[in-house]
Structure 1
Amino acid sequence: MALRNRRKSGISPNAALLFQGGIGVFGLIGILVFGIPVLLLGPGLWPSLAYGVVGAAGTYALLLLLTQIPGLFPGNLERQMQGLYDFASNYSPMVLLLLSLLAGIGEELLFRGAVQGWLMAHTGPVTAVLAASVLFGLVHYISFTYFLVATGLGLILGSVYAYSESLLLVMVWHAVYDMIALFCLLRFPSWFGVTTADRRRFHE
């Protein structure tokens, strides 16, 4: 999800949704203007949906396991999780669900459909996946650690898109991943070293 911690700016739900949705519009315009071929369904509708859900759950489980390895991630990852928690806690579950869906659809239209698709037509699949993934990480840059995590996710999504030839699959993967991530962060903040408002008041 390209949105960062905007609690201090007081961004409204409508503005957040418009921003996230605008990414998809931008990607779709790029696809149409440059005539980029889009590989939509690959193995089919239901396999794309099923693989997307399973892939998202597996990817998030892997990330959780990696965070348990001492010293693998710098300490500032906890600060990023705190910022994301503060951002997400300002919105209703429905808004967060819509943001996740828009992120999955919009960001995949832009980064996998438009950017990776254009690069695959002009370079090769490895270069296309790497370049689109790094760009995906840079757009999500709020720290070097977060950049690495986002780039890693981009590499997974880009590789899956190139292999499966299903943009729908990676859209579902991305959207469900964001849903799981937000749910776990808000429901189990202690997993990520996040201090909630209740805990802050307790320590004051």
Structure 2
Amino acid sequence: MSSNAALLFQGGIGVIGLVAMLLFGIPVLLVGPGLWPSILLGALGASLTYAALLLLTRVPGLFPENLERQMQGLYDFASSYSPVVLILLSLLAGVGEELLFRGAIQGWLMANTDPVTAVLAASVLFGLVHYVSFTYFLVATGLGLILGAAYVLSESLVLVMVWHALYDMIALYCLLRFPRWFGVRIVDPVTNRPHE
């Protein structure tokens, strides 16, 4: 996928979320504790969530499938884009996906059901949209649960947008900078052999 198409896709998700919120009159909890606390708590949450996930990947047999295969695919995808495009993709994913999944979907469900049902349903949908394997579905659903709970507790969509965007940036940086942490093999295009 070209960088323009990837950026347009991620931006389009946010537009869909905004349109849904406007069409259905979904109430948005924007900056519960305030703008700066939301930004700081989002940054802290992203760092802690990624660190926890990184530690969980070290537990033998915890994930039902070989996570290395998914990481190799993600590495191949991410390494085809420039750092600027990856930062923009992370920002657009954080803003756009949170507008759709926490703002529109979870917001609508919270207005029509209870917070637990809203968080669970929006998180499973979030996991399904990110489905590339059952393991990746579980990880994405888990992240959705964390972001959904953070949205309910903080009443700040800005907080979960920052959290999601920075989480993606940290994850992509670590994957591209330290691929061996994830079992990724980098193949030299000239010799067609793995780098040592």
- Cα offset, 1:203, TM superposition: 4.6
Equivalent of residue 107 in structure 1, options 90, 97, 101: 97
- Structure 1 length normalisation: TM-score? 0.93
Deviation string 1:119-167 (CA, Å, 9 cap, x unpaired) is 0000000000000000000000010000000000000000000000000
Within-5 A mapping of 1:45-60: 45-60=35-50
Aligned counterpart, 1:3: none
Equivalent of residue 31 in structure 1, options 8, 21, 39: 21
CA distance in 1, matches of 2:177, 2:64: 23
RMSD: 1.3
Structure 2 gaps of 5+ residues are: none
How has the CA–CA distance of structure 1 residues 37 and 70 changed in structure 2, closer, same or farther, with 3 Å as cutoff?
same
Aligned counterpart, 2:3: 13
Aligned residues between the structures: 194
2:133 paired with 1:133: no
Deviates more, 1:71-80 or 1:185-194: 71-80
CA distance in 2, matches of 1:156, 1:188: 25
> Could you tell me which amino acid in structure 1 is paired with residue 120 of structure 2?
L
Deviates more, 1:73-82 or 1:52-61: 73-82
Equivalent of residue 63 in structure 1, options 53, 56, 60: 53
2:87 paired with 1:86: no
- Cα offset, 1:73, TM superposition: 1.3
Aligned counterpart, 1:202: 193
> Could you tell me which amino acid in structure 1 is paired with residue 39 of structure 2?
L
Percent of aligned positions that are identical = 77
CA distance in 1, matches of 2:45, 2:140: 16
- Cα offset, 1:77, TM superposition: 1.4
> Could you tell me which amino acid in structure 2 is paired with residue 202 of structure 1?
R
How has the CA–CA distance of structure 1 residues 33 and 12 changed in structure 2, closer, same or farther, with 3 Å as cutoff?
same
Aligned counterpart, 1:150: 140
> Could you tell me which amino acid in structure 1 is paired with residue 175 of structure 2?
L
- Cα offset, 1:34, TM superposition: 0.1
